[in-house]
Amino acid sequence: QVQLVESGGGLVQAGGSLRLSCAASGRTSSSYTMGWFRQAPGKEREFVAAIWWIGVGTVYADSVKGRFTISGDYAKNTLYLQMNSLKPEDSAVYYCAASPRIRGLATTGDAYDYWGQGTQVTVYS
């Protein structure tokens, strides 16, 4: 079992920045793929970014490429999402997720087995 707890969400003006954190505990491993997803009211959950520590790779949704950066500190079992140049359309509940099964970069929710409870990000113009 892996437990994931997100933090760092909040209210920010368009153009501003936030850094989300996801603390992992339990049966963690550097071979896991870790990801961020988001879900806005009335919309489906969408992929944001993923990282594969052991393979040192990252992938981003086109909508956030160049603005968001996913990173992690495996020694601290913490995943981060640095979000810059935020837009109102970035407003959503952000979830971190872990995939023990995938050896690589997974961009679909069904590849992930463990999810956090989410943290709200609201961007106002």
Instruction: For residue 71, give the nearest of 55, 53, 54 by alpha carbon.
Output: 53
Q: What's the gap between Cα 11 and its chain centre?
A: 17
Q: What's the gap between Cα 111 and its chain centre?
A: 14
Identify any residues that bridge with 121 across adjacent strands, giving them in sequence order: 10, 92
Q: Is 88 helix (H, G, I), strand (E, B) or coil?
A: helix
- Any idea what DSSP says for residue 62? T
pLDDT at 28: 80
Q: Are 10 and 74 in contact (CB under 8 A)?
A: no
pLDDT at 55: 56
Q: Which two tokens stand for residue 26?
A: 């339990």
Q: Are 110 and 101 in contact (CB under 8 A)?
A: no
Q: Is 101 helix (H, G, I), strand (E, B) or coil?
A: coil
Contacts of 116 (CB under 8 A, 6+ apart): 4, 5, 6, 22, 95, 96, 97
pLDDT at 74: 82
pLDDT in tens, the chain (125 residues): 899 999 999 999 999 999 999 999 988 877 789 999 999 999 999 999 999 876 578 999 999 999 999 998 888 899 999 999 999 999 999 999 999 888 788 999 999 999 999 999 999 99
